[in-house]
Amino acid sequence: MIDVVFLGTGSMVPTSTRNHSGVFLRYKDEGLLFDCGEGIQRQLRIAKVSPARITRIFISHWHGDHVLGIPGLIQSMAANHYNRKLRIYGPKGTKEFVRKILNAFICEDKVQMEVVDLKNNDVVKADGFKVRATELKHSATTMAYEFIEDDVRKINMAYLKKHNVSPGPILKKLQQGKDITINGKRIKVSEATTIKKGKKVVFINDTAFCEDCVKAAKGADLLICESTFDESFEEKAKDYMHLTSTQAARIAKLANVKKLILTHFSQRYKSVLKLKNQAKKIFKNVETAKDFLKISL
């Protein structure tokens, strides 16, 4: 089960209803925070997500509305005796930015950390999943992140029963994708097992429309995509290197995703219904995010 919680769905300026950017993804024992805007600590509390659950932070880029929550979050984690290794990933310069931002104030308690600068197409591997970084097109180096659950090989017990194969340790070889031989009979993995394809969740934040958006989103079960402007501001979006609602929908359609959630809305919008309706003309299965929206896959 993959659980996604939207902690912040606004853009550069937070509003009374939308915080700076942040999305929390829980998978098994891992908690992945995608961007960490100002106010994230309070959002976590309201969402009833303990900061101790966070194991990895993925930064899309180093504009303030995506990172200003980092020092406060880490200070609180340290004060509460966070006992894991916190891993922080981001585009080139992330190591130096984290060092500088944490040296800007006094903090007696420390958190054990590993900070990694990612390049285009780098892959972070973990137990049961991986995260791929794809460089996009923005005024600062920006990464899309693909959370990809590992495929799982399932044994077809009905097939084995039909061929008089009893459960036992040798079946582990089938799960490893290897043919087996029992009582002189060859059991092919292609016939005795099926593949359950892992889920894919993609995060696209702060970018102009580009082919790499489509590449990163390809085949996603869930695409979480910035939609700073409605389509009437297409020229402004181009100037500021952001997406409109219709451009986000085009990405979803071209990438053949299953569900699109728009986020990162300009503070000019009291209601984002217009953006949803514009997107739906191109891609039907679309939803607009709000702070504390929860999605399970």
- Whether 109 shows a pLDDT value over 80: the answer reads no
- Whether 18 shows a pLDDT value over 80: the answer reads yes
- Whether 165 shows a pLDDT value over 80: the answer reads no
Provide CB contacts within 8 A for 25, sequence distance 6+.
Answer: 2, 3, 4, 5, 31, 32, 33, 34, 147, 201
Candidates 65, 206, 230, 291; catalytic one = 65
Q: Both 168 and 211 in a single domain?
A: no
Domain boundary among 142, 161, 194: 194
pLDDT score, position 226: 98
Contact 237, 208 (CB under 8 A): yes
Q: Both 175 and 86 in a single domain?
A: no
- Length of the chain equals 297
Q: Both 165 and 292 in a single domain?
A: no
pLDDT score, position 155: 83
* pLDDT tens digits, 129-140: 999 999 999 999
User: Pairing between strand 152-155 and 180-182?
Assistant: unpaired
Instruction: Decide if 65 is catalytic.
Output: yes
- Whether 262 shows a pLDDT value over 80: the answer reads yes
- At 273, which CATH number? 3.60.15.10
How is residue 191 written in tokens? 């016939």
Q: Both 162 and 178 in a single domain?
A: yes
- Neighbouring CB atoms inside 10 A of 1's CB total 8
C-alpha span between 233 and 252 (Å, rounded): 20
Q: How would residue 187 be classed by pLDDT, with cut points 50, 70 and 90? A: confident
Q: Both 26 and 121 in a single domain?
A: yes
Q: Both 114 and 172 in a single domain?
A: no
Residue range 42-46: mean pLDDT, rounded: 98
pLDDT score, position 89: 99
3-state secondary structure 240-296: HCCCEHHHHHHHHHHCCCCCEEEECECCCCCCCHHHHHHHHCCCCCEEECCCCCEEE
R_g of the chain, CA atoms, integer Å: 22
* pLDDT tens digits, 70-80: 999 999 999 99
User: How high is the mean pLDDT of the chain?
Assistant: 94
Q: Both 202 and 237 in a single domain?
A: yes
pTM listed for this prediction: 0.93
pLDDT score, position 184: 77
Q: Both 176 and 208 in a single domain?
A: no
Amino acid occupying residue 29:
D
Q: Both 176 and 35 in a single domain?
A: no
Q: Both 144 and 291 in a single domain?
A: yes
Q: How would residue 268 be classed by pLDDT, with cut points 50, 70 and 90? A: very high
The residue range of the domain holding 168 is 153-194
- Whether 147 shows a pLDDT value over 90: the answer reads yes
Contact 242, 206 (CB under 8 A): yes
Q: Both 167 and 278 in a single domain?
A: no
Q: Both 184 and 213 in a single domain?
A: no
Task: Strand 56-58: give its sheet, edge to edge.
Answer: 113-118, 86-91, 56-58, 30-34, 22-27, 2-8, 294-296
Question: How many domains does one find in the chain?
Answer: 2
Domain boundary among 133, 165, 194: 194
Domain boundary among 143, 176, 194: 194
Contact 77, 45 (CB under 8 A): no
Query: For the chain, what percent of residues have pLDDT higher than 70?
Result: 100
Lowest mean pLDDT among 36-45, 174-183, 220-229: 174-183
